[in-house]
Amino acid sequence: MVQHTPVVGIGQKRSSPRVEAYKTFWRRLRKNKAAVVGGVLILLFVLTGIFGPFFTTGDPNATQISNKLAPPSGEHWFGTDNYGRDIFTRIIHGMGITMKVGFLSVALGGTVGVILGIFSGYYGGPLDTFIMRAMDILLAFPGILLALAIVSVLGGSLQNVIIAVGVFSVPAFARIVRGSTLTVRKLEYIDAVKALGASDARIIFKHILPNVLSPIIVQLTLRIATAVLTASGLAFLGLGAKPPTPEWGAMLNEGRAYMQQAPHLVLFPGIMIVLVVLAFNIFGDGLRDALDPKMNK
């Protein structure tokens, strides 16, 4: 591909490499059709999560026993469940919960993981060994099992699910950030600012963090998918939000008994979980490709 170098006159301030990098990044991301679809879906999900409840008619928990297990129709788009609750309304309300769990738990796990990873990579030595061995211990458990254990200890509530899923995202971030920090730390400009007498905090936050951001962003996106799946899994096992909260995993669990007569009870929450996870995954993959400097095309 031809490199387009903008012609800039002497003395004119040029756009920063960051702006240039964003432009290249957008160009690459837009080329990736799957990533665009994923991104649009995510945007749609987030907006639905925030504003959806204001547009749906009625209470997600309003029962109508006379009209239970009704198949999808003009009045009830996704049908009704075993208590006669409108599944569409419940799904829209559940979107907010799913998004909240996904974003908050990853924000929690990401923050802790990034800090641990940067300190581990920057200081090295016994601190590094200690942090990384602790991460290995966390990684040794299958994710869902670890989250299960944490929720069992803390008690089942939405807040504890967020904490549990957050904790199990920590090692992934810590490892990736540690690796990137090790690379950046060895660069000569870090030595240069060190020789100028910069404090560790300045070096870490001003010179290392901005240069390890791209893998963090990719990981954040991919981890949300995992978080959503884990949270639904916990709810399905009855360890998440308490009924009658319209959590998708819980809805799956409730509908399980009626799968033969009324498959729509599990079909719609199931489809939604798949869509959300898929959207974040393909968007995350797209981000990774677009941010990878080796794919310079």
Partner 1 sequence: MAKKELLKVDGLKQYFPIKGGMMGRTVNHVKAVDDISFTIYEGETVSIVGESGCGKSTTGRAILRLEEPTEGTVTFNGHELTSLSKREMRKLRKDLQIIFQDPYASINPRQTVADVLDEAMTIQKVLPAKERRKRIIELLETVGLNEYQADRYPHEFSGGQRQRIGIARALSVNPKLIICDEAVSALDVSIQAQVLNLLQELQKDFKLTYLFISHDLGVVRHISDRVIVMYLGKIVEIGDKYSIFENPKHPYTKALLSAIPVPDPTREKKHIVLTGDVPSPIDPPTGCRFHTRCPFAQEKCKVDVPELSTHASMINGHEAACHFVEEIENGTLQAEGFEEAVF
| Contacting positions for partner 1 (CB under 8 A) | 10-11, 13-14, 16-18, 129, 187-189, 191-199, 202, 206-207, 210-211
How far apart are alpha carbons 104 and 177 in whole angstroms? 19
Backbone angle region of 125, left / alpha / beta, with phi > 0 → left and psi within -120 to 50 → alpha: left
Q: Shortest gap between Cβ of 195 and partner 1 (angstroms)? A: 5
Find out whether 181 and 122 touch, Cβ atoms under 8 Å.
yes
Give the shortest CB-56-to-partner 1 separation in angstroms.
46
Sign of CA dihedral 152, 256, 95, 281: positive
Q: Residue 126: is the preceding peptide bond cis (ω within 30°)?
A: no
Minimum distance from residue 201 beta carbon to partner 1 (Å) = 12
Q: Give the shortest CB-264-to-partner 1 separation in angstroms.
A: 53
Q: Tell me how far, at minimum, the Cβ of 137 lies from partner 1, in Å.
A: 17
Give whichever of 207 and 288 is closer to partner 1, judged by the CB atom: 207
Q: Between residues 16 and 66, which has the closer beta carbon with respect to partner 1? A: 16
Q: How far is it, in rounded angstroms, from Cα 16 to Cα 170?
A: 33
Task: Compare residues 13 and 294 and give the one whose CB is closer to partner 1.
Answer: 13
Least distance to partner 1 from the beta carbon of 115, Å?
A: 21
Kindly write down the DSSP assignment for every residue of 204-258, as one continuous string: IIIIIGGGGHHHHHHHHHHHHHHHHHHHHHHHHTT-SSPTTS--HHHHHHHHGGG
**Nearer CB in complex with partner 1: 129/152:** 129
Nearer to partner 1, 54 or 188 (CB): 188
**Residue 70 DSSP symbol:** P
d(CA 191, CA 197) in angstroms, rounded, equals 10
Query: Which residue's CB is nearer to partner 1, number 155 or number 197?
Result: 197
